[in-house]
Structure 1
Amino acid sequence: MVVIFVVSCMENRRTSTDVYLMHLAIADLFFALTLPFSAADIHAGHWMFGTFMCKLISGLQEATFYCCVFLLACISVDRYLAIVKATQFLAQKRHLVGIVCALVWVCAFLLSLPIIVNQSMDSWRMGLRILHHTLGFFLPLAVMMFCYGFTMCTLCHTRNSQKQKAMRVILSVVLAFIVCWLPFNILELIDTLMDSIDVALYVTQAMAFAHCAINPILYAFIGKKFRNQLLMSLFKKGLLGRNTMSKYRVGSVNSTGNVKV
């Protein structure tokens, strides 16, 4: 919610990356809202909230998962175009960024429909999991690796420290995604073929679900510009005194007010 608050306070000063990060935070928030139900399910050993809630929670988890990974891929493409191709086309065409985000949410919802429509899905289990791993992890991961690989090569040949700092939070977010979701995806893929790794699957699922809480921490502790913008937003809302803001503020917020991550 902190990320959503900070970016929303920017009003007309948001960059394309800011918009993607705000939608990513919204998806993480929706995913986090489903976690108490998953925890209760694991603790009780069975689902106790009825068929409707089962479909709703499972569908919401699936949709927000797809949304997160697609948005991370969009951010990698955005940074690739801005740094490697030296173009701000999408940043200048803000309505296109909004369209891309809308398409991401629509695609994520459509990909979650099989789980919502048919929760048992025994006959579809293999196909849905392959689809989940392919479109929801390995393909977006390949896009991120390609884009960030070329981006890092470009940054290694430039002395633009501002761009290098701007990549720090985003790369940390991607790394957090890989660390949190890769073990679960690997074991779930194995579980598709084997049914004897329940404990390991629960552990890696907990790691994967923890991902929704890691992104805001990365923004707050690694992105200096984000911290400055947060303090400025709290100050403007009257929630923070001038002395306190001056004490904890790092660096300075530039005239555009954008969050440099």
Structure 2
Amino acid sequence: MSLSEENENPPASAIGRFLVCTILSLSFAVGVPGNAFVIWTICRRMKQRSLSVVLILNLAIADILVLVTLPIWIYSFANTWLFGIETCKALVFVVYCNMYASIFLITALSLERFMAVFHPFAVQRRTKKTFTCLAMLLIWLLSIAFGAVVLPFQETEDSEFGPQCTSRSYISNSQKVACLLLETLVGFLVPFAVISICYVCIAKRINSLTGSNKRRSNRLVISVVVSFALCWLPYHIFNLLSVASAVMEDSDGEASEALEKIAVQGTFIAGSMVFLSSCVNPLLYAFAARNIQSSMRFAKLSKLFEQMSPETKQEGTKENSVLNGKEETLMSTDLN
């Protein structure tokens, strides 16, 4: 999350600071115990974990890693930044890694849902432990690589309330445009294009599926995708406004300045909203598990995650039994 772009008058009004601190406090209070419970449920109650469950586990880990940084951000916005430029860069790096890891994990989850619906036996063959480990390693390495892009530009900046870790310093507008476009394209637009294609295809197929578990798991993944989009879309819109401002600076200085002011003010609030995406997923899981029958209250979540596994074994058994039945009928017919 870019908390703010380079500017001379950072958005630090008392109302804005109070609103941001409230959003961050709510995210921390809900998200940390919620994601911790998801991690505990998967690690302690599920011995066999499908690719879907491993993706959800890593998503919860990414979310909780960024949420534990919130007390420092809350203190900073309520007072001033007292922790130095190194800590500033480190915490921004953690936030950016979470952004990329979350979108990459959700994209992988959407692709897995697509394969589970259209090619269930291929999913069964390819979701071995080695494949899953390599996929998670690749996602985290890409997240670290893209998250590190912002580090050379992140700075602390003095405001009317004191220093804040809310500024980036670019050498030129071209560099600024390149960094912001990379962030929006890789961190939002391209992955969501892939996700949208997956779910358009799934939507056309889902009505023909008779398994209620498969419908439930697909609806759950769609709700995770939608919540992520709603939390991150405003931030990336203001990102694009900042890009437009940089592009227009030479041709129309007044319009460029007006756009930059809007982008700066909007990014300050929208930047705090992105933390909501890290706390909402456990609520979605709890809502999806509410109708699952279980004698133990805490077992509902693990049963929900068990249903995330593609029903390949059951479907394969049914198909094999049908084929075997046909073969036996043909053999008996030939013998007679």
In which range does the TM-score fall when normalised by the shorter chain?
0.7 to 0.9
Contact 1:3 1:216 in 2 (8 A): yes
2:140 maps to what in 1? 105
Q: Confirm or deny that 1:74 pairs with 2:139.
A: no
Displacement of 1:53 in angstroms is 0.3
Q: Residues 226, 37 of structure 1: CA spacing in aligned structure 2 closer, same or farther, 3 A cutoff?
A: farther
Q: Residues 248, 59 of structure 1: CA spacing in aligned structure 2 closer, same or farther, 3 A cutoff?
A: closer
Which residue identity is paired with 1:38? W
Q: Residues 125, 8 of structure 1: CA spacing in aligned structure 2 closer, same or farther, 3 A cutoff?
A: same
Deviations 1:111-135 (A, max 9, x none): 1222234424413322111100000
Q: How many residues align?
A: 242
In structure 2, C-alpha distance between the alignment counterparts of 1:188 and 1:92, rounded to whole Å: 37
2:96 to 37, 62, 66: 62
Displacement of 1:154 in angstroms is 1.0
In structure 1, C-alpha distance between the alignment counterparts of 2:77 and 2:53, rounded to whole Å: 36
1:52 maps to what in 2? 86
1:84 to 106, 113, 118: 118
In structure 1, C-alpha distance between the alignment counterparts of 2:119 and 2:129, rounded to whole Å: 18
Q: Where does the alignment leave 5 or more consecutive residues of structure 1 unmatched?
A: 229-244
Displacement of 1:183 in angstroms is 1.0
Which residue identity is paired with 1:71? L
2:43 maps to what in 1? 8
Which SS does the other structure have where 2:81 is aligned? Answer: coil
Which residue identity is paired with 1:177? F
1:196 to 261, 274, 280: 261
Q: TM-score, normalised by structure 1?
A: 0.83
Which residue identity is paired with 1:144? I
Q: Residues 18, 253 of structure 1: CA spacing in aligned structure 2 closer, same or farther, 3 A cutoff?
A: closer
Q: Residues 222, 42 of structure 1: CA spacing in aligned structure 2 closer, same or farther, 3 A cutoff?
A: same
Q: Residues 214, 30 of structure 1: CA spacing in aligned structure 2 closer, same or farther, 3 A cutoff?
A: same
Contact 2:292 2:300 in 1 (8 A): no
In structure 2, C-alpha distance between the alignment counterparts of 1:99 and 1:205, rounded to whole Å: 32
Q: Confirm or deny that 1:209 pairs with 2:243.
A: no
User: Map of 1:34-49 to 2, 5 A cutoff?
Assistant: 34-44=69-79, 47-49=81-83
> How high is the sequence identity, in percent, across the aligned residues?
24
Contact 2:285 2:301 in 1 (8 A): no
Which residue identity is paired with 2:170? D
In structure 1, C-alpha distance between the alignment counterparts of 2:292 and 2:284, rounded to whole Å: 10
1:162 maps to what in 2? 213
Q: Confirm or deny that 1:138 pairs with 2:138.
A: no
Contact 2:289 2:300 in 1 (8 A): no
- RMSD in angstroms over aligned alpha carbons? 2.6
Q: Residues 96, 202 of structure 1: CA spacing in aligned structure 2 closer, same or farther, 3 A cutoff?
A: same
Contact 2:69 2:91 in 1 (8 A): yes
Q: Where does the alignment leave 5 or more consecutive residues of structure 2 unmatched?
A: 1-35, 155-167, 246-258, 310-336
In structure 2, C-alpha distance between the alignment counterparts of 1:226 and 1:69, rounded to whole Å: 28
Deviates more, 1:219-228 or 1:189-198: 219-228
Q: Confirm or deny that 1:30 pairs with 2:95.
A: no
Larger radius of gyration: 2
User: Map of 1:110-121 to 2, 5 A cutoff?
Assistant: 110-119=145-154, 120-121=168-169
Which of the pair has the greater relative contact order for Cα pairs under 8 Å at 6+ separation?
2
Displacement of 1:207 in angstroms is 1.6
Which residue identity is paired with 1:69? I
In structure 2, C-alpha distance between the alignment counterparts of 1:19 and 1:249, rounded to whole Å: 18
Deviations 1:167-219 (A, max 9, x none): 12111100100111111111122133232123322222222111100011111
Which residue identity is paired with 1:181? W
Which SS does the other structure have where 2:261 is aligned? Answer: coil
Q: TM-score, normalised by structure 2?
A: 0.66
